[in-house]
Amino acid sequence: MALDYLSLLNPSQGAAVMQTEGPCMIIAGAGSGKTRVLTYRIANLLEKGVDSFNILALTFTNKAAREMRARIEKVVGPEVKNLWMGTFHSIFARILRSEADKMGYPRSFTIYDTQDSKTLVGQILKELELDDKLYKPGMVLGRISAAKNKLISVQQYLNDPAIRADDEAALRPKIGVIYQQYQQRCFKAGAMDFDDLLYQTNVLFKDHPDVLNKYQNIFKYVMVDEYQDTNYSQYLITRKLSAKDRNICVVGDDAQSIYAFRGADIQNILNFEKDYPELQVFKLEQNYRSTKNIVRAANSVIKNNQAQLRKDVFSDNEEGTLIEVLKAASDNEEGKLVAQSIYEDKMNQHLSYDDFAILYRTNAQSRAMEESLRKLNIKYKIVGGLSFYQRKEIKDLVAYLRLTVNPNDEQALRRVINYPKRGIGDTTIAKLVEAAEQSNHSLWEVVSNADQFLPARVSNPVVGFGEKIKEYTAKAAIHDAYEAAKQIAKESGMIEELYADKSIEGLSRYENIQELLNGIKAFVEDPEREEKSLGAFLQDIALVTDADTKDAQAEGEQVTLMTIHSAKGLEFRNVYIVGMEENLFPSQMMITSRADLEEERRLFYVAITRAEKKLTLSYATSRYQWGNLRSCEKSRFLDEIDPQFVDFKFAATPAGPGAGESPFGHVFERRSNLVPPAPRKTVATKYVTPSDFKPSDTSSLQTGQRVEHPKFGFGTVAKLEKQDGTTKATIKFEEVGEKTLLLSFAKLRVH
């Protein structure tokens, strides 16, 4: 079977797949097929007789783990189900739940997301009477996170003179106290944040050598993807787990290390050989993604970094077009140039808008791009917008589910104790919190026995709420996640509350709850999942990363807009990197040291290597910032690209278009005599609801029928869907486009 692998791989890939014993490092250049190598390496181990239970494969996103698992299954079959494969956080959350009693945590501990943590920090600041403008919750949380990633405990933080001096110099001497309170409150609530999943795993292995030995014997082969993105905590865990058999394989590319701001330490990959002198190194240098020009341009940029593992990335693909550089007079003109370029390429080359991506250094840059795309009627999606699980109504129901599984979850309890309203006001909640602090009990213990702490008139609704949660917990113990969640959504009063809101926003919130329940149903019906409890579902959604969330805006082909950090691991046919200006890219805040500048250069390298066929760079000579127009100079990174791979001939004049001149003509005039015109918008008469408007009976509504809505005007029924006793109608309105409405709410007049 080994020969079959080798026939599917190039020599470097094949050598990395066949080397299964001892420490090895696979340096995988951009687009070099590292997922294929990891897949076949695991398949090779299984075919050599290694028990699938003895293989640990760590990734940085659930998406990467799913993709790899699916590929391995095609090669080796169902044995793949037994692999320990997933993100660092999901694997170690699983271990911590198994060993929770040794740490003093419940097995059903809650995993706090960033918003939960910020809320808790805000509460602590209020209790300590600290100024939240000086001690901004996000900043405080970042400081705590950095400490945990470096495995600095609360006591070490409080007792370290250097740390204290740093905080005092920043006029924030109380951060150590906040850290202490934060950890105590999390522990009392039976909760861990994302950083705790790694920090507490290190504590577990340090304090319980027998547990470490147990997992060393289980994980005989350890593989780590994207090793350049690991922090100190992750580095230590993987080193400890592989210490016995030393069968550790790390895969990564130092040139794509771009997460220092999250604690990633590039030294982990640069110094890997120091930990393992017997290390075998394999370099995957053939790029299968991009044209030769794009690969060579990327090489010419990254060679300027001093701290790197040298490699010679090459491509056997076509030469490809030169990299275009667009120069605009302003950020608004830059948006116009990019939008027109996308429109022209799409039309002339018969492409889909899905083939295009616009990448930027900061989210704020999307505004000019969005405005210009809208003016040309180009649909787009922004990756990294508000996540489905961050919407208020979703967080409300999830808080009920979390409280059902772990009643000590203080953040969840505070969120829903008076939602829907049940007569428990802020004053009562404050008294409950005070009683919990004075008695050294959790907030839940006080709520459960509210009649002992509060007068009967005030305690009755609190006691009633406590009884409800106990009922939910009992039901969740005997039902799967879907049945439990459905009952909680109904019995809590949330469904009724949202159903009663007939506004467009209310309808949307109600539909979001339905979608959450649909998601839980799919979770329960997934044959791959053995554990179908509410607790298992909550862990699953708590560990969803940014890279796993999909933007579900308008359907159909769309241009993708995203930050470069969000684009890592993705690829697009045509890529636009905008805002190539000094102080923007490289960022003004990231050019205080050589290490910071080299991180910015790696970020540019990542951006370049997302492109398959065509790469366009753009910059503006002036840009609005904080309401003021300021002059800009082009990024030093543009000068680092070897000139032979760049085409400036389409650059705009700094002054912008002249009087009466097409705003795009001077950019494209050398390419063709005729620039495709922007699609014309038809001017529609504003719809006015007629005075005699009266809704029709829609029980026998059919697709194709023409209808009238009091707000959206006239439209045609495109689709009807029946689900759980309700009917959804997808209607294409003449003025506002396509809308999906619940017929039980929609006031439609049938024509």
Annotated binding site for ATP: 28-35
CA 704-707-709 angle, 5° bins: 145
Distance CA 266, CA 282 (A): 18
DSSP class of residue 314 equals B
**CA-based nearest residue to 234, from 273, 176, 194:** 194
Cα maximum dimension of the chain:
85
Distance CA 361, CA 369 (A): 13
Q: Where are the beta strands (DSSP E) in 84-160?
A: 84-87, 110-112
Pairing of strands 622-625, 628-631: antiparallel
Other Cβ atoms within 10 Å of 420 Cβ, number? 14
Q: Where are the beta strands (DSSP E) in 471-610?
A: 559-563, 572-577
Distance CA 714, CA 691 (A): 15
**CA-based nearest residue to 469, from 497, 448, 496, 441:** 448
Distance CA 552, CA 732 (A): 19
Q: Name every residue whose Cβ is closer than 8 Å to that of residue 37 and which is 6 or more positions away in sequence.
A: 9, 13, 16, 17, 26, 28, 251, 284
Distance CA 338, CA 307 (A): 34
Q: Name every residue whose Cβ is closer than 8 Å to that of residue 277 and which is 6 or more positions away in sequence.
A: none
Annotated catalytic residues are 34-35, 225-226, 256, 610
Give the 3-state secondary structure percentages of the chain, helix then strand then coil, rounded to 5.
Answer: 50, 15, 35
Q: 586 preceded by cis ω (within 30°)?
A: yes
Distance CA 727, CA 402 (A): 31
Q: Where are the beta strands (DSSP E) in 385-452?
A: none
Q: Name every residue whose Cβ is closer than 8 Å to that of residue 88 and which is 6 or more positions away in sequence.
A: 58, 60, 197, 198, 234, 237
Q: Which strand (E) or helix (H) includes residue 404?
A: helix 392-405
Amino acid in the structure at residue 129: E
DSSP assignment of 593-634: SHHHHHHHHHHHHHHHTTEEEEEEEEEESEEEETTEEEE--B
Backbone torsions φ then ψ of 678, nearest 5 degrees: -65, 145
**CA-based nearest residue to 35, from 11, 10, 59, 62:** 59
